[in-house]
Structure 1
Amino acid sequence: MRLHVGCAMWTYAPWQGRLIPHPLPPSERLRAYASWCNAVEGNTTFYATPAVATVESWAAQTAEDFRFVVKLPKTATHEQRLRGVDLRPFFTAMEPLGPRNHAFWIQLPASFAPADLGVIATFLYRLPRGYRYAVEVRHPSFFDDERSARQLEHVLGRVGAEWIPFDTVTLFRTPASSYAERDAWMKKPRVLRRTRALTATPIVRYIGRDDPQLTVAGWDYLVKAVVDWLAEGRSPTVFLHTPDNVDALTLARRFYSDVAAVVPELSPLPEPLPVAPPTLF
């Protein structure tokens, strides 16, 4: 019985010296993050494919059961729009992660509509087997039109892929009250909530508010969904976001604790590294 929780990044300036030891060399930053969470979103790969040596460093800093959900490059998803894509160099670069590579994350722009399901199906069918794949769609029709949702589920089910929902309901529940929230309102998708798992390894991205209390109040439904998934033998991964992400690390652990309060069989998360070395006085 495994639950994994994480954030959108492992290096973030507001965490340094407050939650994560600082300064740290690049070869130690992920290790420090992994003392807080047991999963992370691989967003950097969206912008550039890292060198193999860089990915080897990621693997060296994490345990084998740590989960990376690695985003496919934007050249494939946003520029070439899944057509004529050669991902062989990308998959080769990710090989050092081994079992840590939990799933390849295919985040599609909102312009991908139900009319593009044939393109999505062809792309998924041509991907190499042996990996997990998870698709994030943002077009509203996939969420508010039952027929479109079922068609997408059918396409994903044919290749055993998961549907990643990005839950923004809490973000949009009340008016924005900070610059970060206003920025998120302009950039994040406003779609209906989804809790239907297609595979044994569901993945959810949840974004709350800059006020931790509002973030916690909005995730009650997700705690219940995760408890149900665990009871069904599934192994979910949940990523916690807020508009400014200042408290995302502590919120990820708080979410894990809320689930563990209902499912005490869950193994505890690691103990975070001390921010500063102990002193004699």
Structure 2
Amino acid sequence: MWTHPSWQGRLLPHPLPPGERLRSYATWCNAVEGNTTFYATPAKSTVETWAEQVSPDFRFVVKLPKPITHERRLTGIDDPLRAFLEAIEPLGPRAHALWVQLPGSFAPTDLGTLAGFLRRLPSAYSYAVEVRHRAFFDDPRSAQLLERILTTAGAEWVPFDTTAFFQSPPTSDAERDAWTKKPRVPRRSSALTDRPIVRYLGRDATDRTVEGWQPWLDTVTDWLREGRSPTVFIHTPDNADALTLARRFHADVRSRLPELAPLPDPLPTEPLTLF
């Protein structure tokens, strides 16, 4: 995400060499979704450059590759899993969670496979699972079984809150594209671990996005008061203003919880001058 085209030169300095882009992003936000790892396992040397650009307390939530979760559906995955874990090893403590995003067809009947997969994972990492099958949201028994499996493994259930997005029909190309691709499931706001993770999708209009995240302000504030360490990712259909919106969400939580540490000051997009 730190190379998002619409941020370059507008929110982040441009041009920047690849080895400096994440460093600039980290002055805006202290966490990032590692979504590119879904499409290809990066070279270990590439991950080393990521680690070098951020502090040890920066958070990567890194998605497992598609061959593991979607193509092989968590079975027969020893080789790609081993390659992935070796590649991300340089992140060290920055690997806040490994993100197991499952396809919409991964149903309650597949939970035995998920339980077996989670049991085999190394304890050096924390894990977060995102499900999209409606039964996990509509059928209490399926939800309880999933929670039991995740709790036993010490893994988190990642909600992807699209409720605000689907409240009314799309009005732009970016919204129309997201309308066909994003899951339409109810909001879920229960934490299973001390590291809850929230993914929120708003609309093109900032006021609609801010209105939609209001329920999360109380939830996240309560988690912090309970001693949990939540991570919240703010999205819009085109993500053009995701950085400023993420900081606004953080500021809204901080207004309720002043002891929450502030985010860093972003780097200027233009060099500083005397005049």
Which interval holds the TM-score relative to the shorter structure?
over 0.9
Normalising by structure 2, what TM-score?
0.98
Q: Partners of 1:180 and 1:104 in 2: how far apart? A: 28
Note the C-alpha offset of 1:280: 3.7
Q: Partners of 2:262 and 2:107 in 1: how far apart? A: 41
Q: What runs of 5+ residues in structure 1 fail to find an aligned partner?
A: 1-8
- Tell whether 2:236 aligns with 1:254: no
Note the C-alpha offset of 1:156: 0.4
Output the amino acid matched with 1:153. E
What is the total number of aligned residue pairs between the two structures? 273
Deviations 1:180-205 (A, max 9, x none): 00110100000000000000000000
Query: Which of residues 29, 36, 39 is equivalent to 1:37?
Result: 29
Structure-2 residue corresponding to 1:72: 64
Structure-1 residue corresponding to 2:163: 169
Q: Partners of 2:18 and 2:236 in 1: how far apart? A: 24
Output the amino acid matched with 2:264. P
Say which structure, 1 or 2, has more relative contact order (CA 8 Å, 6+ apart). 1
Partner SS state of residue 28, structure 1: helix
Structure-1 residue corresponding to 2:191: 197
Output the amino acid matched with 2:22. L
Note the C-alpha offset of 1:279: 2.8
Q: Partners of 1:75 and 1:256 in 2: how far apart? A: 34
Normalising by structure 1, what TM-score?
0.96
Partner SS state of residue 54, structure 1: helix
Output the amino acid matched with 2:128. A
Note the C-alpha offset of 1:127: 1.1
Structure-1 residue corresponding to 2:5: 13
Query: Displaced runs of 4+ in structure 1, greater than 6 A?
Result: none
Query: Structure 1 stretch 101-110 or stretch 80-89: which is displaced more?
Result: 80-89
Identity over aligned pairs, percent = 68
Structure-2 residue corresponding to 1:118: 112
Structure-2 residue corresponding to 1:145: 139
- Tell whether 2:39 aligns with 1:51: no
Deviations 1:31-90 (A, max 9, x none): 010000000000011011111110010001001110000000000000001001111111
Partner SS state of residue 238, structure 1: strand
Q: Partners of 1:173 and 1:224 in 2: how far apart? A: 21
Partner SS state of residue 169, structure 1: coil
RMSD of equivalent CA atoms? 0.7
- Tell whether 2:265 aligns with 1:271: yes
Q: Partners of 1:152 and 1:104 in 2: how far apart? A: 18
Q: What runs of 5+ residues in structure 2 fail to find an aligned partner?
A: none
Q: Partners of 1:247 and 1:33 in 2: how far apart? A: 13
Output the amino acid matched with 1:21. P
Output the amino acid matched with 2:99. W
Q: Partners of 2:272 and 2:61 in 1: how far apart? A: 34
Note the C-alpha offset of 1:145: 1.2
Output the amino acid matched with 2:157. W
Q: Partners of 1:278 and 1:78 in 2: how far apart? A: 47
Partner SS state of residue 164, structure 2: helix
Q: Partners of 2:173 and 2:230 in 1: how far apart? A: 32
Structure-2 residue corresponding to 1:220: 214
Note the C-alpha offset of 1:233: 0.6
Q: Partners of 1:129 and 1:259 in 2: how far apart? A: 31
Q: Partners of 1:12 and 1:133 in 2: how far apart? A: 26
Note the C-alpha offset of 1:179: 0.6
Partner SS state of residue 199, structure 2: strand
